[in-house]
Amino acid sequence: MKSTILKFALFSFALLTFSQVNAQEKKKPDPEKIFAALDTNKDGSVTLEEMKARKTKKELSAEAQEKRFAKMDADGNGSISLEEFKGAMAKAGKGEGKKKQE
């Protein structure tokens, strides 16, 4: 009887752990999919106009969008490459792009 209870407890723990790991993996956004959705003319780069045309959960002012775009456009050429986009997403994921709360 104790063996059955122990097996059930271990199974439950393993299932719970797997569920949590799986849920965490699903929450990570895929930069390539997001970039592809933003790149509406499919030229391999995202312009400010393409970024502004995309509806987001949190609407930003034109000025805020321009600032965000400028931060992402690392080489300052007026468009964001996939590499620049991935770099910006990585920084945002580490909290580097967010303001510190005092």
pLDDT digits (tens, 9 = 90+) for 22-51: 555 556 789 999 999 999 999 999 999 998
Domains of the chain: 29-93 (1.10.238.10)
Closest CA to 38 of 23, 24, 49: 49
- The answer to whether the predicted template modeling score (pTM) of the entire model surpasses 0.95 is no
Looking from the CA of 72 toward its CB, the CA atoms found within 13 Å total: 25
Separation between Cα atoms, residue 84 and residue 90, nearest integer Å: 10
pLDDT at 99 over 70: no
DSSP string, 72-94: H-TT-SSEEEHHHHHHHHHHHHT
Separation between Cα atoms, residue 93 and residue 88, nearest integer Å: 9
- What pLDDT is stored for residue 61 in this prediction? 87
